[in-house]
Every structure is written in structure tokens, then in C-alpha cells.
């Protein structure tokens, strides 16, 4: 049980993909203008991260490792994730049209999101959490889920920050993108505070 | 002799995974195929694609969908497309084309600079909507045309212009898309069949004396038009004459009777 909590805390807060590892910045800055869009994107990313890990974990452990082809990880994973997202989109269009409409353009956008690829690769490592032992399938899934939730958290938080920025009046030179990047940096600094969390546990 | 085995294994494995993915996607696209109604697409191609909303639907796509699902039977709702689009849609659906009378926008105000005057000078943002916010506008008549041209801005066909302080529709280029109807904060514009030449050029609901004091061509609610109308198409309500265009035969009797010239009849 302790491991489960540790994995979640680690992936959501300490190693937050956007704010601590600076991956997946494109959707983080691109789709965080409005809260409902940010939530939609965050949910879609979480969803894709979990199913992508569920597929890439066995591919790595049963196919690539047994042929001694670990170095092909990146290219194979990109291939698989892209196909998978397409498949999910087709399935949703048929089975849950409402959800398909809600996710809209976000699903295909995620296809080439580096955060998804990074989660798939990192979920294979056994050092996600100190003293945890080897990464089993269940732990990998949990890690992917936590990372997705971390992404969602970052998106929602930053959407709130951006709504405040839109209402305020920064100096002329900082208007638009500059003030957005500066705020992103400050939010990222705030997440540095979680860094020392594990030494206390 | 270098060892080719790892290269060959790698190629085979990646090719196999790629093939597997593509086969899976091909099967999935067949299994999960969503039927797109052919009719719907054909109808959509007939429509102009301006998404103006004149048909009463959210856009051309929703109108096409409603037609293809037989939720909507009137093929003549697209006013910008007029008779041609109605005929095309009727062809696709295999029904008799709906009878179309061309419609145009008419402005219910004639308060130009000669007939009425300003009560103040408005220095704010030059739009009807913002002028309206300040004591109903800068004109003496708060029901009339504000003259900042919000309707001109939204018109895609260059069919409405501010002329001498009041909006005027160019009947030939107007497509009755209703954009100006929605843009006017005073609700002065109405979509009317083009062959009905009788238009009440006033929207003032104040008592006759007050309305007349503010504008030379105001409707004073005297009901002369009501008495002279052979088809009971014109009725005075809230001190203002209103024409029911279903009954109106465009004979011009009301315009001839009007003492202030508030009713326009130009055939």
C-alpha cells in the first residue's frame, strides 16, 4: 500500500511532468487559456498515458527485451502510440460519440506528445520511487495514471493563473507570451518545494 | 564478414509491429465505421456554407443534417441561397422544390439628420451597442436608428449603409441572412418578402405627441392606416403601426393615408 501512495505522490507532485521535468510544454501553453479546455486536454492525456503504458510495457518486456532490441524503444513506442491513439479515436467515435466530441481535437494532438512517450519509457524503469524494487505491470500503470493526473493538475492550475493574467495589466513589454512564460516559470518554482518530500518520508 | 543478424532481427521486429498496427487499424476502421449519411453530405454541398443561421439552425451543417433525417421538410429555408439552393436540395431529396419568395431586410426607421436631431454628442466607442448603453443613445428618439453602423460592420454582402444618419438597405445585394437583424440593438431591422413594398419606417412606441416632437416622420398611432387597410393587415399597437405581411397585399393605401409619412411605399 505504501508503494502505491509513494508512486502517486512521486508522479503527481515531485516529478510532475510539466512543471518539474518540462515535458509536454506545447499543450501546457497552448490549451491552457480556458479552464474547460484545459480539463479536457488533461483528461485526454491521462487516458492516453495509461493505455499507452498498458500496451508498451508488454512490448518492451516480452518482445524487445527477448530479442535484445532495447535500443529500438523510441521508434517502436512512437509507432505503437500513434496507432493506439488512432484506434481509440475510431472506437470512441463509434461507441461513445459524446466523449469523442468532448475530446475533439485533443486526441490526435496527443499522438506525438513527448510527455506520453516519456511516461511510457520511464514507466519501465525501476527507480521511479526510491526503494521500490522492479517495476511491475501494475506499478507501471499506476505511474502512468499519476503522471497524467499531474499533467491535469498542472493544466488546471495554470489555466487559473492565465485567467488572472488575462484580467490584469502587465507592462507593455511583457504582454502576451512573455508574461505567460514568466508565470509558468514561477509555477514551476513552486513545484520545487516538493523536491525534498521523499527524504522526510 | 560483419554480423548482419541483429540488423535483420531489428528490421523484422519493427516491420512486424508496424504491420500488426496497420492491420489492427484497418480492421478497426471497418468494425467501428460510423455511417455518414450520403444525403447529408450532398445537401451540405448545395448550401452556401456561410453559417449565417438564417434558416433557424446553428449552421449549414445542422440544417443539412435536419433535412437528411427528415426532421425538417422545408427545403426553402436558406434565404442567402434563395431559389437555386432550394431547387438543388429538393433534387437531392427527390421532392418538389419549395416555393421561394425572395426576402430582404427592411429598416423600421427613417430618422435621418433632416427628420430628427441629436440630444447629446456621444464621444465613446463608436458603435451602436455602446451608444445604446448611455441613456438609450445620443438621438432624441431612443427607439430609432443609432447610426453608428453595427449593421454595416456585420453585413457580408455590402448591402446596408448609413445614409444621412440612418441605415438603408440596398435591396439588390441583400440576401436576407439576418446578421443585421441580430446586430441592431434597437431591433429595427426585419426580414420581409421583397414584393411587399409597404414598410412602417418607425419603431417609436411613445405617445403620438412625444414621438412627433422628437422626429418629423414618427408614427403617431392615429390609426388612419388601420381604417384604410382593405385586408386588415395593419394594426396599431403600443402607439405604433405594425404590418402583418401574410395579409398585406402591398396596395399602398396605408402609406397614402399616413399624415406624417411614416409608412413608406415605393413600388
How many Cα atoms are found within 13 Å in the side-chain-facing hemisphere of A55? 21
Say what the ipTM of the complex is. Answer: 0.73
Kindly indicate the confidence band of residue A184, based on its pLDDT and cuts at 50, 70 and 90: very high
What confidence category does residue A126 fall into, taking pLDDT thresholds of 50, 70 and 90? low
Mean pLDDT over residues A118-126, rounded? 84
Smallest Cβ–Cβ distance between A87 and the set B9, B17, B28 belongs to B28
What pLDDT is attached to residue A135? Answer: 58
Q: How confident is the model at residue B15 (pLDDT cuts 50, 70, 90)?
A: very high
Express each pLDDT in B219-239 by its tens digit.
998 999 999 999 989 999 889
A17 in any annotated domain: yes
Mean pLDDT of chain B: 86
Question: What's residue A199's pLDDT?
Answer: 63
Amino acid A132: pLDDT: 47
Number of domains forming the structure of chain A? 1
User: Contact B13/A67, CB-based, under 8 Å?
Assistant: yes
CB of A34 less than 8 A from some CB of B: no
Number of A–B residue contacts, CB under 8 Å = 47
Q: Pick from A43-47, A177-181, B46-50 the range whose average pLDDT is largest.
A: A177-181
Q: Searching chain A, which residue's CA lies closest to the CA of residue B27?
A: A87
Residue A35 confidence (pLDDT): 85
Q: Does B17 touch chain A (CB under 8 A)?
A: yes
Residue A145 pLDDT exceeds 90: yes
For B64-120, the pLDDT digits (tens) are 888 888 788 888 788 787 778 888 888 888 887 766 778 889 999 998 888 888 888
Contact B14 A75 (CB under 8 A): yes
- The answer on pLDDT for B2 being more than 90 is no
CB-CB under 8 Å, B29 with A72: no
Q: What pLDDT is recorded for position B200?
A: 92
Confidence of residue A70 (pLDDT cuts 50, 70, 90): confident
In chain B, positions 20-59, which contact chain A (CB-CB < 8 Å)? Answer: 21-22, 24-25, 28-29, 31-34
Residue A56 is part of which domain span?
2-31+38-196
User: Which residues of B are less than 8 Å from A91 in CB distance?
Assistant: 28, 32
Question: For residue A200, is pLDDT > 60?
Answer: no
What pLDDT does residue A128 have? 52
Task: Say yes or no for a CB contact (<8 Å) between A69 and B13.
Answer: yes
A100 domain residue, yes or no = yes
**In-domain check, residue A85:** yes
In a domain, residue A24? The reply is: yes
Chain B residues lying within 8 Å of A98, measured CB to CB: none
Residue A131 has pLDDT above 60, yes or no: no
SS3 for A113-176 is: CHHHHHHHHHCCCCCCCCCCCCCCHHHHHHHHHHHHHHHHHHHHHHHHHHHHHHHCCCCHHHCC
Catalogue all structural domains in chain B, each as residue range(s) with its CATH number: 38-93 (1.10.15), 102-195 (3.30.70.20), 197-267 (3.30.70.20)
Chain A residue at shortest CA distance from B22: A83
Q: Each residue of B113-169: pLDDT tens digit?
A: 888 888 888 888 889 999 998 888 888 899 999 999 999 999 988 899 999 889 999
HSE (side-chain half, CA atoms, 13 Å) at A132: 25
pLDDT above 70 covers a percentage of chain A that reads 91
Report the residue from B9, B13, B24 with minimal CB separation from A83.
B24
Least CB-CB distance to A69: which of B10, B32, B34?
A: B10
Q: How far is B79 from chain A (nearest CA, A)?
A: 30
In this predicted structure, the answer to whether residue B218 has a pLDDT above a threshold of 70 is yes
**Long-range contact list for A140-144, CB < 8 A, 24+ apart?**
A140/A53, A140/A57, A141/A50, A141/A53, A141/A54, A141/A57, A142/A4, A142/A7, A142/A8, A143/A7, A143/A11, A143/A53, A143/A119, A144/A49, A144/A50, A144/A52, A144/A53, A144/A54, A144/A119, A144/A120
| Position A158 in a domain | yes
- The verdict on residue A201 lying in a domain is no
Q: Is B153 on the interface with A (CB under 8 A)?
A: no
Amino acid at each position: 500500500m505504501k508503494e502505491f501512495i509513494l508512486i502517486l505522490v512521486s508522479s503527481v507532485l515531485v516529478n510532475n511532468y510539466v512543471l518539474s521535468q518540462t515535458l509536454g510544454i506545447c499543450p501546457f501553453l497552448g490549451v491552457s487559456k480556458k479552464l474547460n479546455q484545459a480539463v479536457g486536454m488533461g483528461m485526454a492525456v491521462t487516458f492516453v498515458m495509461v493505455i499507452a503504458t498498458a500496451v508498451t510495457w508488454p512490448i518492451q518486456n516480452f518482445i524487445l527485451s527477448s530479442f535484445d532490441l532495447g535500443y529500438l524503444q523510441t521508434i517502436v513506442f512512437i509507432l505503437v502510440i500513434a496507432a493506439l491513439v488512432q484506434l481509440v479515436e475510431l472506437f470512441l467515435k463509434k461507441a461513445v460519440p459524446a466523449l469523442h466530441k468532448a475530446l475533439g481535437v485533443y486526441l490526435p494532438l496527443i499522438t506525438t506528445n513527448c510527455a506520453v512517450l516519456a511516461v511510457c519509457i520511464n514507466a519501465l524503469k525501476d527507480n521511479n520511487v526510491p526503494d521500490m524494487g522492479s517495476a511491475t505491470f501494475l506499478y507501471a500503470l499506476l505511474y502512468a495514471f499519476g503522471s497524467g493526473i499531474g499533467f491535469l493538475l498542472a493544466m488546471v492550475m495554470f489555466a487559473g493563473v492565465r485567467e488572472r493574467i488575462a484580467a490584469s495589466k502587465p507592462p507593455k513589454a511583457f504582454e502576451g507570451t512573455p508574461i505567460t512564460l514568466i508565470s509558468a516559470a514561477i509555477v514551476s518554482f513552486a513545484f520545487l518545494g516538493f523536491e525534498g518530500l521523499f527524504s522526510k518520508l | 564478414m560483419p554480423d548482419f543478424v541483429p540488423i535483420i532481427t531489428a528490421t523484422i521486429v519493427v516491420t512486424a509491429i508496424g504491420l500488426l498496427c496497420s492491420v489492427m487499424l484497418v480492421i478497426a476502421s471497418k468494425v467501428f465505421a460510423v455511417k455518414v449519411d450520403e444525403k447529408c453530405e450532398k445537401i451540405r454541398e448545395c448550401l452556401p456554407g456561410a453559417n449565417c443561421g438564417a434558416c433557424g439552425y446553428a449552421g449549414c451543417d445542422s440544417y443539412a443534417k435536419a433535412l437528411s433525417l427528415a426532421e425538417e421538410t422545408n427545403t426553402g429555408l436558406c434565404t442567402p441561397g434563395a431559389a437555386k439552393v432550394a431547387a438543388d436540395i429538393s433534387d437531392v431529396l427527390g421532392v418538389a422544390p419549395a416555393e421561394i419568395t425572395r426576402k430582404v431586410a427592411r429598416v423600421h426607421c427613417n430618422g435621418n439628420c433632416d427628420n430628427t436631431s441629436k440630444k447629446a454628442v456621444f464621444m465613446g466607442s463608436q458603435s451602436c451597442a455602446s451608444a445604446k448603453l448611455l441613456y438609450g443613445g445620443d438621438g432624441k428618439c431612443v427607439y430609432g436608428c443609432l447610426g453608428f453602423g453595427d449593421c454595416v460592420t456585420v453585413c457580408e454582402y455590402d448591402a446596408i449603409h448609413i445614409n444621412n444618419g440612418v441605415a438603408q438597405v440596398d435591396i439588390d445585394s441583400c440576401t436576407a441572412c439576418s446578421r443585421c437583424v441580430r446586430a441592431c440593438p434597437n431591433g429595427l431591422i426585419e426580414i420581409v418578402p421583397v414584393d411587399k413594398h409597404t414598410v412602417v419606417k418607425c419603431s417609436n412606441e411613445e405617445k403620438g405627441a412625444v414621438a412627433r416632437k422628437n422626429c418629423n416622420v414618427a408614427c403617431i398611432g392615429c390609426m388612419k392606416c388601420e381604417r384604410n387597410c382593405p385586408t386588415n393587415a395593419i394594426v396599431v399597437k403600443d402607439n405604433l403601426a405594425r404590418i402583418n405581411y401574410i395579409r398585406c397585399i402591398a396596395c399602398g393605401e396605408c402609406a397614402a393615408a399616413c399624415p406624417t409619412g411614416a409608412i413608406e411605399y415605393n413600388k
